[in-house]
Amino acid sequence: MTVDPFPNYIAGTWTAGRDAAPNINPSDLSDTIGDYARASACQTAEAIEAAATAFPKWRTTSPLVRFEALDRIGSEILARVDELGDMLAREEGKTLPEATAEAHRAGHLFKYFAAEAYRTTGDIYQSLRSGVSLKVLREPIGVVGVITPWNFPLAIPAWKIAPALAYGNTVVFKPAELVPGSAWMMSDIIARAGLPEGVFNLVMGTGRDVGEAIVAHPKVSGVTFTGSTPVGRNIGAALFARGAKMQLEMGGKNPLIVLDDADL
């Protein structure tokens, strides 16, 4: 039996990619989890255009609407932590308890930023001039590109996507190529949360096709990236050149100390 690849999510529609790649369990190479679509640069541009079109309306949506959508996402993630944890463990190789704990974390992140949607704040300052006050408002920046690594495929996307949506931005999400299954499951939950089409988009694929298209597109107002230092530096240089916003978390390492008496 032939099973269609898991598709990308662009402009509110599940969309086949240019091609697809198998997602293989690193702990059991005979276990193919599924084939996942890989978007082209042109499809990535379509997702960005959809996000740009959705932004003007989404930015004016009431905090209540944003709260309800993000809260629904968090609730479903928490209700499905075992299923999500199983997927994460299969495709990434984490132990099942650690993978399930990460799914819990992702759910709570969406819940947290759902509540933060209610707490949109500004500041008022007294001017040096009589009869004048200064007001500072915090506004969404527009389309946000979310580029995430393989090591925390649920938690890191959650802590980037949730605040972006909570504060009125639209999102184009590119997960790491090694862990499309976790990203797809989370995106499926987000897609059913009642967001208007184009507010959230999933484009799986390579850094050369998808990542570079996100970074270079003039309608992407900012990029939040976690990954390697060389890639992050290239992203930073490209974004700086066109005056876009950026968050770059690069080169983190988790040290492991193995002692002589370790039970291997």
Model pLDDT for residues 74-102, shown as the tens digit of each residue: 999 999 999 999 999 999 999 999 999 99
Q: Is residue 242 part of a domain?
A: yes
User: Closest Cα to residue 162, out of 222, 111, 219, 119?
Assistant: 111
Q: Is residue 177 part of a domain?
A: yes
Cα–Cα distances (Å) from 35 to 38, 94, 130, 178, 179, in that order, read 10, 20, 66, 12, 11
Instruction: Give burial (CB, 10 Å; 0-12/13-18/19+) of 48.
Output: buried
Q: Is residue 135 part of a domain?
A: no
pLDDT tens-digit readout, 114-172: 999 988 777 888 888 888 888 888 899 999 999 999 999 999 999 999 999 999 999 99
Report the relative pairing of strands 170-174 and 200-202 from DSSP bridges.
parallel
Q: Is residue 123 part of a domain?
A: no
Q: How far is CA 119 from the centre of its chain?
A: 22
Q: Is residue 103 part of a domain?
A: no
State the chain's mean pLDDT as an integer: 94
Q: Is residue 264 part of a domain?
A: no
Q: Which domain holds residue 162?
A: 8-13+35-61+142-250
Number of domains in the chain: 1
Structure tokens that stand for 157 in this block: 């996307």
Q: Is residue 79 part of a domain?
A: no
Give the pLDDT of residue 83.
97
Q: Is residue 88 part of a domain?
A: no
CATH number for the domain including 53? Answer: 3.40.605.10
